[in-house]
Homo-oligomer: A and B are copies of this chain.
Amino acid sequence: MSTVIRIQREDFDPQAEADALTKGRPDVGALTTFTGFCRHEEGALSALELEHYPGMAEKELQRIVDEARKRWPVQGITVLHRYGKIMPGERIVFVAVSGGHRGEAFAACEFIMDFLKTSAPFWKREHKVDGSQGEWVEAKDADDKALERWK
Q: Tell me if A's interface is mostly helix, strand, loop or mixed.
A: mixed
Contact of A70 with B by CB under 8 A: no
Contact of A33 with B by CB under 8 A: yes
CA distance A89 to B37 in the complex (A): 29
Contact of A28 with B by CB under 8 A: yes
Supposing A33-B32, A103-B146 touch, asked if A26 and B14 sit within 8 A by C-beta, the answer is no
Contact of A77 with B by CB under 8 A: no
Contact yes or no, A37 B22, CB < 8 A: yes
Contact yes or no, A106 B36, CB < 8 A: no
Residues of B within 8 A of A88 (CB): 26
CB-defined A-B contacts under 8 Å, sample of 29: A14-B15, A14-B18, A15-B15, A22-B89, A23-B89, A24-B89, A26-B39, A26-B40, A26-B88, A27-B40, A27-B42, A28-B37, A28-B39, A29-B36, A29-B37, A29-B38, A30-B35, A30-B37, A31-B33, A31-B34, A31-B37, A33-B35, A34-B102, A34-B105, A34-B106, A36-B102, A102-B110, A102-B113, A106-B110
Known pairs A30-B35, A31-B33; list 11 more (Cβ under 8 Å).
A14-B18, A24-B89, A26-B89, A27-B40, A28-B89, A31-B34, A31-B35, A32-B32, A32-B34, A33-B35, A106-B106
